[in-house]
């Protein structure tokens, strides 16, 4: 029989790590299980941005709250987490997009998030490698980037310092009714089971609508100073918003190493890990349209990852519908890094029966589906 735990977290990605850290912080005895290594799923593949998004009010609230939690955590983060508050610039390419820039600015400022409209000239000064002819953009100075696998590892280690047990290299085959069955034949028992298995969470908790959304990325060699801020095209939201089909959108990020990380792409129904040449090429062509100088940079590697996507583009944070012992912390799509800390806070508050700083209703697994999607 396994030693006593109050909670078992399945998944040591950024969300599972944050939950385990918060649970341990609140005095619970925690076990964390992952079939691979810490931070190896979407956490390893993603862009590591901490970005406030406004696709919906609920998305804004969660991302802003979590961004502030990251800022508070920043002094404790070790160097290899590579936290940089480089800011985001939402880039406008025409007048219609500038109108959207102004709308966003009003929206953010009204909610206390610093946001500055910058004109074409200022944009060129801030980011000389953007092509000529951009109309301007929106600068969000409090956004940042970090290196997710090391951030996940930091959170897990903090949990371990408070007695959490990390079990790697074995999968959870079943979770429910206070038990997690493991592939090595053993089982863990706890009153609280957290499904933080990302794009595989639907395999463990049947009926939840979490689908894999494949993304491609490319990282270059070191070119310090080529890029200073995270840059996103305004069409990014259109791409993330789509509920079917393949799309690409311009999204680049400077790493602390001076490497440039190039994204982004989204595909539904693509479940193989292989790098797909046509999608990659489209993504890179889109990136070159915004930053022609990218073409000459040396590529070190490309890879893919699977985001955990839900039909209404909000994560599932709260008790599962069918089993009192199971809690969900999954479905974060492209915002897992950003919202991991807030997810942990509001999830553990629910587990302990105390209120949260933000409304938890929009993220409850039991929420009424706003849009049913059949991909």
Q: How far is the CB of 254 from other proteins (least distance, A)?
A: 15
Token output for 97: 């997009």
Q: How far is the CB of 48 from other proteins (least distance, A)?
A: 12
Q: Which residue has the tokens 């602390």?
A: 256
Backbone φ and ψ of 210, nearest 5°: -120, 120
What minimum distance in Å lies between the beta carbon of 269 and other proteins?
Answer: 13
Distance of CA 366 to the CA centre of its chain: 22
Q: Which one, 207 or 225, has the nearer CB to other proteins?
A: 225
Residue 37 phi, psi (nearest 5): -110, 170
Q: How far is the CB of 273 from other proteins (least distance, A)?
A: 8
Could you list the residues that contact other proteins (CB under 8 A)?
Answer: 36-40, 44, 80, 149-150, 153, 168-169, 218, 220-223, 245-247, 257, 262, 275-282, 284-285, 287-288, 294-303
CB of 83 closer than 8 Å to CB of 68 = no
User: With contact defined as beta carbons under 8 Å apart, do 263 and 240 qualify?
Assistant: no
The smaller minimum CB distance to other proteins, of residues 199 and 265, is found at: 265
Query: Nearer to other proteins by C-beta: 125 or 298?
Result: 298
Cβ at position 274, least distance to other proteins in Å: 8
> Phi/psi at 99 (nearest 5 deg)?
-60, -40
CA separation, residue 8 to residues 2, 26, 181, 339 (Å): 12, 14, 11, 20
Our CB check for other proteins shows the closer of 44 and 337 to be 44
Cβ proximity to other proteins, 17 vs 314, nearer residue: 17
Q: How far is the CB of 62 from other proteins (least distance, A)?
A: 27
Cβ of residue 198: shortest distance to other proteins, in angstroms? 15
3-class secondary structure, 35: coil
The pair of three-digit structure tokens given for residue 262, joined into one six-digit string: 């190039």
Q: Which is nearer to other proteins, 94 or 221 (CB)?
A: 221
Nearer to other proteins, 194 or 297 (CB): 297
Cα–Cα distances in angstroms (integers) from residue 185 to residues 12, 174, 181, 191, 205, in the given order: 20, 11, 7, 20, 19
Indicate the DSSP class of residue 131.
P
């Amino acid at each position: 029989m396994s030693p006593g735990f109050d909670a078992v977290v399945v998944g040591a990605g950024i969300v599972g790590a944050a939950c385990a850290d918060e649970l341990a912080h609140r005095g619970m005895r925690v076990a964390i299980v992952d079939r691979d290594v810490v931070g190896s799923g979407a956490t390893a593949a993603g862009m590591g941005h901490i970005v406030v998004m406004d696709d919906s009010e609920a998305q804004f609230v969660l991302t802003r709250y979590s961004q502030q939690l990251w800022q508070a955590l920043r002094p404790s983060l070790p160097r290899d987490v590579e936290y940089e508050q480089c800011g985001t610039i939402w880039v406008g390419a025409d007048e219609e997009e500038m109108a959207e820039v102004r709308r966003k600015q009003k929206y953010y400022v009204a909610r206390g998030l610093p946001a500055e409209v910058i004109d074409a000239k200022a944009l060129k000064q801030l980011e000389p490698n953007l092509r000529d002819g951009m109309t301007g953009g929106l600068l969000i100075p409090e956004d940042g980037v970090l290196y997710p696998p090391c951030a996940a590892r930091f959170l897990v280690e903090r949990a371990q310092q408070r007695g959490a047990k990390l079990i790697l290299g074995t999968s959870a085959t079943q979770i429910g009714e206070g038990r997690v069955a493991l592939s090595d034949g053993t089982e863990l028992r706890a009153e609280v089971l957290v499904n933080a298995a990302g794009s595989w969470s639907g395999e463990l908790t049947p009926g939840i609508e979490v689908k894999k959304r494949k993304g491609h990325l490319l990282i270059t060699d070191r070119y310090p100073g080529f890029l200073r801020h995270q840059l996103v095209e305004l069409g990014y939201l259109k791409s993330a918003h789509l509920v079917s089909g393949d799309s690409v959108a311009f999204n680049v990020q400077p790493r602390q190493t001076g490497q440039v990380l190039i994204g982004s792409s989204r595909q539904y129904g693509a479940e193989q890990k292989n790098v797909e040449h046509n999608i990659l090429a489209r993504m890179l062509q889109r990136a070159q349209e915004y930053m022609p100088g990218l073409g000459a940079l040396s590529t070190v590697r490309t890879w893919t990852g699977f985001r955990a996507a839900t039909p209404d583009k909000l994560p599932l944070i709260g008790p599962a519908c069918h089993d009192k012992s199971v809690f969900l912390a999954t479905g974060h799509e492209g915002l897992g890094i950003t919202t991991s800390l807030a997810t942990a806070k509001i999830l553990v508050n629910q587990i302990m029966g105390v209120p949260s700083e933000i409304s938890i209703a929009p993220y409850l697994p039991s929420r009424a589906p706003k849009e049913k999607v059949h991909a």
